[in-house]
Amino acid sequence: MTALKFGFVIVEGCGEHSSVAEHTLRRLTEVEGEVEYRTVPGTSETVLAAKCFAELTSVDAVLVFLPHEEHPAVLTAALEGLTDIVLDWNMPIVTTISYPDGMSLARAAVTMVEMQIEMEGKAEGKMVDTSVN
């Protein structure tokens, strides 16, 4: 596997598992350079930070560290925004909502990147036109 790049989006005060996640990433795969960290003031801002990673960097996946005690409406809106980025950019984004500790979060990110690389490799030259017209 080639070296991978990862971005971390951390809501202020929610990065307690980030060092374990980074250590796990480095143990599971070759990490190209440094993991890129961005700290944001709140849950809503994670969407813009993740989109910036997708549009402006060459990271392979983003790990998002969210507060466990968040208003459900704010959390739902953020998760919907993050899902849109995943679908628009074909970039794995994993959150501490689904994977509450750094080790499982990192494993999920690596698993999704590996799956994507494998499927893209198999699909090369076999792309099907799915347009309506």
Report the CATH number that the domain containing residue 33 is assigned in CATH.
Answer: 3.40.50.960
CA 2, 101, 86, 8 torsion-angle sign: negative
pLDDT by residue for the chain (133 residues), tens only, comes to 679 999 999 999 999 999 999 999 999 999 988 899 999 999 999 999 999 999 999 999 999 999 989 999 999 999 999 999 999 999 999 999 999 999 999 999 999 999 999 998 888 766 666 556 5
Helix (H, G, I), strand (E, B) or coil at 81: helix
pLDDT of residue 28: 95
Token look-up 């500790």 returns 101
Phi, psi dihedral angles at 17 (to 5 degrees): -100, 5
Q: For residue 129, is it within any domain?
A: no
pLDDT in tens, 52-68: 999 999 999 999 999 98
What pLDDT is recorded for position 132?
63
3-class secondary-structure state, position 120: helix
Q: Is 99 domain-assigned?
A: yes
For position 123, what pLDDT does the model report? 83
Number of domains in the chain: 1
CB atoms near residue 59 (< 10 Å): 21
Residue-number span of the structural domain to which 71 is assigned: 6-122
